Chain A
Amino acid sequence: MNSANAQAKYPGRLSGQESLGKSIVKHGALYLMIVPGLLYFIIFKYLPMFGLVIAFEDYKPYKGIFGSEWVGFAHFERLFSEPMFLTILFNTLTLFFLNLIFCFPVPILLALMLNEVRQHRFKRVIQTLVYIPHFMSWVIIVSISFVLLSMDRGLINELLVAAGFDKVNFLMNPDWMRPTYILQIIWRESGWGTIIFLAAMASIDPEQYEAARLDGAGRFRQIWHITLPSIRSVIVVLLLLKIGDVLEVGFEHIFLLLNAMNREVGEVFDTYVYVAGLQQGQFSYSAAVGFFKSVVGLILVMAANWLSKKFGEEGIY
């Protein structure tokens, strides 16, 4: 088939483009290159998506996905009637809102402060320091917190005693689970979170500040009237994306914080899936819980993206 024929057969296609078959023959090497990666995505991303059918089955490992009995929405009905459902929904939303209120503004504040620094070396040193925790695993972050918060000669408790207070069992007391979670996120991610805001601030025209100064604006007013409005769009987009991620409260992190004492306040969808599925072997039910979470998550992300486009910003996906 020559290209004129191809064009006749597929009207509207540019004459430079060949059929898929011809393209594969001509650029075989390129297709060969993407095959291993494509296989990875098919096997480890799309096969599990297909595997979600077990959420509608009474899956038995020895019967396999195709041999197990079909039960429709039974597992979903069970999920919505479990008293645990409201607990994990409440816990997830609570952790999310705490995260939004306490963890989201910190990088903005930190970026505003860094942006005001004129001594470039000092600024770089501080940036270097505050980016470090981002590269530490949650195991390291939580381990260090445990060493600091331990009842047994932990630094914080020693300082409390030295100041005349009683020791606090931060790690076991359920009341301290949420503050610990929030502080660990602030510690690990605040520095890293400044990067995108600092980049947005770097593109502000310095003349705006000059003009404001001539008009007698102090530093705070310059921040309020120039810096903040300039990064508003970035803030809005990140905020919307964050809201889209409401159900993603950090599984690997929370998993490490959970113990028998604080499960009541710390159990979220992902940890519930782990316990019900891998520890108790209820594959189908926990797959249904995971499915529910993923679908709601997808809808929220799409909605957030649509909203951020409405705000006149470019969507991320």
Chain B
Amino acid sequence: MIQDKSWGSRLFDGVNIALLALVGLVTVLPFVHVLAGSFTTTAELARKQLVLIPTEFSFDAYRYIFSTSTVIRSIGVSVFITVAGTLFSMLLTVLMAFGLSKKTLRGRQTIMFLVVFTMLFNGGLIPSFIVVKSLGLIDSYGALIIPSAMSAFNLIIMRNFFQNLPEGLEESAKIDGAGYWSILFRIVIPLSMPAIATISLFYAVNYWNTYFQAVMYINDAAKWPVQVILRQIVILAGALTADTTGWAAEDVLPPAQSIKMAVIVVATVPILIVYPFLQKHFAKGALLGSIKG
């Protein structure tokens, strides 16, 4: 393409790039501020308003939050429900998506309709709560995994991916006498690793970010995932008098700013670690989802 080198066009580019740089900066500045603040002494935080690179490095905030078992245990809970939940979700999703991708499956249109309809209408909070309660899942980790195990959206993306695989590959396996199970595990899954990785990451992010399910279904504070602990410490801190998390016993003062920041960092870092992997695939995933299911 011929570049437009006119004065106006260059000015446009300059302003545009400057504005975009500003947008990018403003987007991540809060994260950087929180990250830097978590490593800063409270004294430095009090002296300067905006800390982007701490001059007095301090791990006190982290030493403090890891001195009680509350935060550590909640991270353990989050890691567990993320790993176990993602495996469980993928098992259900891949199997069902593969089944639904086969035209030989009678009734698949009906089942697809049932799946899509759940995206339009749901029973809502109270009936879902009653179902989870009558299954005896209250106060169990199962309540954080099973009720949100499948996403209709992810299932449709996965099924579309399977449907678009070349049929010839499976045909030759069928001639060799392979059944559906070995076709799925020996041919289809190895060919679908990019899609499987994407959907797994979607599920994993969802499980890591779980908080409301825990608020609804988990009364035992020892079983709360890290997002709920984060909410207790940062969002409810002012209002929380009878603190069940063990902070009150440790320290009568409300947690200092850097302690709050450290808890935010702990809840955020795992996402930032998987972010580069996510980024490789998510745009494609997001677009696939917008295509008619």
Q: In the docked arrangement, what's the CA distance between A113 and B21, Å?
A: 11
At the interface, yes or no: A80 with Cβ under 8 Å from chain B? no
Give A207 Cβ to nearest chain B Cβ, in Å: 9
The reply to whether A23 and B100 form a contact with Cβ atoms under 8 Å apart is: no
Which residues, 80 to 120 on B, are CB-close (under 8 Å) to A? Answer: 91-93, 95-96, 98-100, 102, 104-107, 111, 114-116, 118-120
Which residues, 24 to 42 on A, are CB-close (under 8 Å) to B? Answer: 24, 26-27, 29-31, 33-34, 36-38, 40-41
Instruction: Give the residue of B20, B95, B104 whose beta carbon is less than 8 angstroms from that of A34.
Output: B95
- Chain A, residues 282-293, CB within 8 Å of chain B (1/0): the string is 010011001101
The reply to whether A130 and B30 form a contact with Cβ atoms under 8 Å apart is: no
At the interface, yes or no: A70 with Cβ under 8 Å from chain B? no
The reply to whether B239 and A259 form a contact with Cβ atoms under 8 Å apart is: yes
The reply to whether A126 and B24 form a contact with Cβ atoms under 8 Å apart is: yes
At the interface, yes or no: B75 with Cβ under 8 Å from chain A? no
Q: With A144-B31, A148-B30 in contact, do A316 and B290 touch (Cβ < 8 Å)?
A: yes
At the interface, yes or no: B216 with Cβ under 8 Å from chain A? yes
- Chain B, residues 266-283, CB within 8 Å of chain A (1/0): the string is 011001100100110011
Residues of chain B at interface, number, CB under 8 A: 102
Give A271 Cβ to nearest chain B Cβ, in Å: 10
At the interface, yes or no: A264 with Cβ under 8 Å from chain B? no
Which of B60-68, B121-129, B163-171, B190-198 lies at the binding interface?
Answer: B121-129
Q: With A152-B257, A291-B124 in contact, do A140 and B267 touch (Cβ < 8 Å)?
A: yes
Q: In the docked arrangement, what's the CA distance between A131 and B275, Å?
A: 10
Report A-chain residues with C-beta under 8 Å of the C-beta of B261.
Answer: 147
**Which of A20, A122, A195 neighbours the largest number of chain B CB atoms within 10 Å of its CB?**
A195
Give A129 Cβ to nearest chain B Cβ, in Å: 4
**Which of A118, A128, A137, A158 neighbours the largest number of chain B CB atoms within 10 Å of its CB?**
A137
Closest-by-CB residue of A relative to B149 is: A40
The reply to whether A317 and B257 form a contact with Cβ atoms under 8 Å apart is: no
Give A274 Cβ to nearest chain B Cβ, in Å: 6
SS class, residues of chain A in contact with chain B: helix
Q: In the docked arrangement, what's the CA distance between A47 and B124, Å?
A: 11
At the interface, yes or no: A86 with Cβ under 8 Å from chain B? no
The reply to whether B96 and A33 form a contact with Cβ atoms under 8 Å apart is: yes
At the interface, yes or no: A1 with Cβ under 8 Å from chain B? no
At the interface, yes or no: B222 with Cβ under 8 Å from chain A? no
Q: With A29-B179, A140-B267, A162-B49 in contact, do A45 and B123 touch (Cβ < 8 Å)?
A: yes
Which residues, 140 to 169 on A, are CB-close (under 8 Å) to B? Answer: 140, 142-148, 150, 152-153, 155, 158-159, 162
Closest-by-CB residue of A relative to B48 is: A158
At the interface, yes or no: B53 with Cβ under 8 Å from chain A? no
Report B-chain residues with C-beta under 8 Å of the C-beta of A130.
Answer: 23-24, 27
The reply to whether B99 and A114 form a contact with Cβ atoms under 8 Å apart is: no
Q: With A117-B16, A147-B34 in contact, do A36 and B96 touch (Cβ < 8 Å)?
A: yes
Residues of chain A at interface, number, CB under 8 A: 106
Instruction: Give the residue of A20, A30, A219 whose beta carbon is less than 8 angstroms from that of B104.
Output: A30
At the interface, yes or no: B227 with Cβ under 8 Å from chain A? yes
* 22 pairs, A vs B, C-beta closer than 8 Å: A29-B180, A29-B181, A30-B104, A33-B99, A34-B95, A37-B155, A47-B123, A48-B122, A54-B130, A128-B279, A132-B272, A132-B275, A135-B275, A139-B209, A139-B267, A145-B30, A146-B234, A199-B283, A273-B124, A277-B125, A293-B124, A317-B120
Given A41-B115, A113-B19, A196-B290, 7 new contacts (CB under 8 A): A17-B106, A20-B107, A33-B180, A34-B96, A155-B49, A273-B126, A317-B120
Residues in A lying within 8 Å of B, measured CB to CB: 17-18, 20, 23-24, 26-27, 29-31, 33-34, 36-38, 40-41, 43-52, 54, 61, 65, 110, 113-114, 116-119, 122, 125-126, 128-133, 135-140, 142-148, 150, 152-153, 155, 158-159, 162, 187, 191-192, 195-196, 199, 206, 209-210, 213, 218-220, 251-252, 255-256, 259-260, 270, 273-274, 277-278, 283, 286-287, 290-291, 293-295, 297-298, 301-302, 314-317
